């Protein structure tokens, strides 16, 4: 839930300071500001011209015939031409200012997303982040910019109208100064109420839609568990509250107009009464008919802008709040720390291609909020070219161990080294270049097969893509796709079967041709036929590389050079398959158990905030 706007003004820096912080994003397009301000100024200044035209028309046009017939009509057309032009120019200029600002803000946010510490992704969901970067920035900017447009236009209008009123009759203007704010206040209160109710009913509508959506997505589960009745009740509660809110909104909006008209009538009558008494008064300070009509006209014209001015802080704070949620992302989310050498600009002394020797010494990892460490006292040496399997019950820390290598997770204590160099000393990208990863959850971009296989490559080598697909046992299927390797896969490649997606992920790993291959339950979720194809592909991928393989099905790792058995964050035994079977420990027990389905992991990618 986003925090309500302007909920705690005391806790926030003053409005002006908050606005000033945003200024740099919107200050690039200087010409736009000049145009916008000039045009708004003109719009405001032309406002009193309308009643001002009425005065000569009434005083002279109809009665004494001193005006030429074409003058007033021509002036009206001219006036509206100028106003129209000015309004167009100001709106356009502000839209440009908003648009340019939005591009800058979004770009920064997206860059931050790409480089953020991985803990961001366990704190915020994909849809929250998408919402902030795409929608909130948009609403915030639009609201803020149009609030400023209104502020300027209404401000100028009120000043111009008041000046004209004073020029016509300053005594009457004093009365107007009391009455107009009253009317404006009523209108403002009503419209606030209306806004609140509208917002509430929007939320309720969203929730209602959400219930429908959930029940569509989970239709099988709802039926299977006989949960229909509860869901219907849930729907009823929301639906009824929505009806109540709709009525409340109608009450607020239906009452506004009559109430305002009543107050306006009172105001008008007061002015008329005073004007009449002045006209007949002994002072002889009379008001002409034209002057009176112009005065009333200008007075009524004051109401709308005054009302908007009384409420101007609201859209500004709302826009600010939305934009600031975006900026908070910039403030709070730290980019991933790179090696100190990179920060200094010094050339890092790491090989372009590692041999693939991995060493962990007394490594400890504790996730924030977890009582027991995920890994503790881990000592493990994987020689270049060796295939080491990690096995153990779900939650024993296997994924965490693998995530330490490309620094998706940092060790709280101990040392993790690749080719004898601490991973913290490797420049981040150089380090990550050394690993290819295939995990249980395959993620594909909404792009072509070729682009997905060659992810991150500067240019796509099509022949190599083809070779990798062949090695991954996927070439035959890709050949049946409408555009072959140029077929766009759609969101996360859902049209492919689990086994095909898995083999595509292997093709991607093959294309990367990194010295170290990490396989995290790559074959767990597959049926036997897919598993055979995937297993073949995996075996090809492992050739000539250091491989760390986590497998749920122990049958798939029997030929590993070494099997490391983990339990509750510790290594409890290691050796070859025959050795471990003979030892009769945890491995032998796991092996004899009938195979349970792979546990769905709550922390699929294992990159939450750790304490170290």
Cα of 260 vs its chain's centroid, Å = 40
Residue 374's binding partner among ligand ADP, Mg ion, none (Cβ under 5 to 8 angstroms by kind) is: ligand ADP
What's the number of CA atoms in the CB half-sphere (13 Å) around residue 140? Answer: 25
Of the pair 334, 368, the CB lying nearest ligand ADP is at 368
- Residues binding Mg ion (CB under 5 A): 399
DSSP letter for each residue of 81-128: HHHHHHHHHHHHHHHHHHHHHHHHHHHHHHHHHHHB-THHHHHS-HHH
Output the smallest distance, CB 112 to ligand ADP, in A: 20
Output the smallest distance, CB 571 to Mg ion, in A: 16
Binding ligand ADP (rule: CB under 6 A), the pick from 213, 332, 370, 422 is 370
Of the pair 582, 595, the CB lying nearest Mg ion is at 595
Q: Is residue 399 close enough to count as binding ligand ADP by CB under 6 A?
A: yes
Neighbouring CB atoms inside 10 A of 599's CB total: 12
Q: Is residue 394 close enough to count as binding ligand ADP by CB under 6 A?
A: yes
Find all residues with CB under 8 Å of 46, minimum gap 6, and list them. Answer: 79, 82, 83, 86
Output the smallest distance, CB 409 to ligand ADP, in A: 8
Window contacting ligand ADP (CB under 6 A); options: 66-74, 212-220, 229-237, 395-403: 395-403
Binding ligand ADP (rule: CB under 6 A), the pick from 440, 452, 556, 606 is 606
Site for ligand ADP in 427-466 (CB under 6 A): none
Please say whether the beta carbons of 413 and 363 come within 8 A: yes
Burial 563-586 (b: 16+ CB within 10 A, else e): bbbbbebebebbbebeebbeeeeb
Angle at the Cα of 460 from the Cα atoms of 455 and 466, rounded to 5 degrees? 95
Of the pair 164, 408, the CB lying nearest Mg ion is at 408
- 375-382 sheet: strands from edge to edge: 375-382, 358-365, 413-418, 421-422
SS3 70: coil
Of the pair 441, 470, the CB lying nearest Mg ion is at 441
Binding ligand ADP (rule: CB under 6 A), the pick from 145, 162, 374, 519 is 374
Q: Is residue 406 close enough to count as binding ligand ADP by CB under 6 A?
A: no
Site for ligand ADP in 84-143 (CB under 6 A): 122
Of the pair 204, 366, the CB lying nearest ligand ADP is at 366
Q: Is residue 400 close enough to count as binding ligand ADP by CB under 6 A?
A: yes
Q: Dig out the tokens for 263 from the structure.
A: 């107050």
Please say whether the beta carbons of 353 and 403 come within 8 A: no
Window contacting ligand ADP (CB under 6 A); options: 308-316, 339-347, 388-396, 455-463: 388-396
Residue 367's binding partner among ligand ADP, Mg ion, none (Cβ under 5 to 8 angstroms by kind) is: ligand ADP
Secondary structure percentages of the chain, helix, strand, coil, to 5:
60, 10, 30
Q: Is residue 396 close enough to count as binding ligand ADP by CB under 6 A?
A: yes
Residues lying near ligand ADP in the complex (CB under 6 A) are found at 122, 367, 370, 374, 392, 394-400, 601, 603, 606-608
């Amino acid at each position: 839930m986003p925090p309500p706007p302007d909920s705690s003004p005391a806790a926030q820096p003053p409005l002006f300071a908050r606005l000033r912080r945003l200024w740099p994003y919107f200050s690039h397009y200087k010409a736009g500001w000049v145009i916008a301000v000039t045009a708004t100024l003109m719009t405001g200044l032309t406002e009193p011209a309308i009643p001002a035209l009425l005065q000569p028309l009434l005083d002279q046009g109809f009665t004494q015939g001193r005006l030429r017939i074409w003058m007033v009509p021509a002036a009206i057309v001219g006036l509206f031409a100028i106003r129209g032009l000015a309004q167009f120019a100001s709106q356009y200029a502000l839209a440009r200012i908003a648009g340019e600002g939005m591009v800058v803000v979004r770009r920064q946010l997206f860059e931050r997303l790409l480089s953020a510490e991985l803990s961001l992704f366990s704190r915020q969901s994909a849809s929250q982040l998408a919402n902030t970067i795409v929608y909130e920035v948009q609403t915030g900017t639009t609201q803020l910019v149009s609030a400023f447009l209104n502020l300027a236009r209404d401000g100028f209008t009120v000043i111009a109208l008041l000046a004209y009123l004073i020029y016509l009759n300053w005594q009457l203007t004093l009365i107007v100064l009391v009455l107009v704010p009253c009317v404006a206040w009523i209108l403002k209160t009503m419209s606030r109420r209306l806004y609140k109710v509208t917002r509430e009913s929007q939320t309720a509508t969203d929730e209602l839609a959400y219930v429908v959506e959930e029940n569509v997505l989970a239709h099988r589960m709802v039926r299977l568990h006989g949960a229909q009745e509860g869901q219907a009740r849930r729907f009823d509660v929301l639906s009824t509250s929505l009806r109540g809110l709709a009525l409340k909104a109608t009450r607020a909006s239906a009452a506004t107009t009559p109430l305002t008209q009543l107050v306006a009538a009172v105001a008008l009558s007061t002015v008329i009464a005073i004007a009449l008494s002045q006209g007949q008064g002994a002072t002889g300070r009379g008001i002409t008919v034209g002057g009176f009509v112009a005065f009333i006209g200008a007075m009524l014209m004051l109401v709308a802008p005054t009302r908007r001015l009384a409420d101007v802080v609201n859209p500004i704070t709302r826009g600010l709040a939305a934009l600031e949620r975006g900026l908070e992302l910039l403030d709070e989310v730290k980019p991933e720390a790179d090696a100190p050498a990179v920060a200094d600009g010094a050339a890092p002394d790491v090989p372009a291609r590692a041999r693939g020797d991995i060493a962990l010494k007394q490594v400890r990892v504790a996730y924030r909020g977890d009582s027991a460490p995920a890994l503790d006292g881990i000592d493990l040496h994987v020689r270049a070219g060796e295939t080491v399997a990690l096995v153990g019950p779900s939650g024993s820390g296997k994924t965490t161990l693998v995530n330490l290598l490309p620094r998706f997770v940092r060790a709280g204590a101990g040392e993790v080294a690749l080719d004898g160099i601490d991973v913290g000393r490797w420049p981040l990208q150089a380090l990550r270049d050394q690993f290819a990863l295939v995990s249980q959850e395959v993620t594909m971009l909404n792009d072509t097969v070729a682009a997905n296989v060659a992810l991150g490559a500067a240019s796509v080598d099509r022949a190599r893509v083809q070779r990798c697909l062949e090695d991954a046992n996927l070439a035959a299927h890709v050949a049946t796709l409408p555009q072959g390797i140029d077929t766009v896969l759609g969101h996360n490649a859902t049209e492919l079967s689990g086994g095909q997606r898995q083999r595509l992920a292997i093709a991607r790993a093959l294309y990367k041709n990194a010295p170290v291959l990490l396989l995290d339950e790559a074959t767990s979720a597959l049926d036997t036929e897919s598993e055979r194809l995937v297993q073949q592909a995996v075996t090809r991928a492992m050739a000539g590389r250091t491989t760390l393989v986590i497998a749920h099905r122990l049958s798939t790792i029997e030929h590993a050079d070494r099997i490391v058995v983990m339990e509750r964050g510790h290594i409890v035994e290691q050796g070859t398959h025959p050795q471990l079977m003979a030892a009769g420990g945890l491995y032998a027990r796991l092996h004899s158990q009938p195979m349970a389905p792979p546990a769905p992991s709550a922390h699929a990618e294992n990159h939450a905030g750790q304490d170290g």
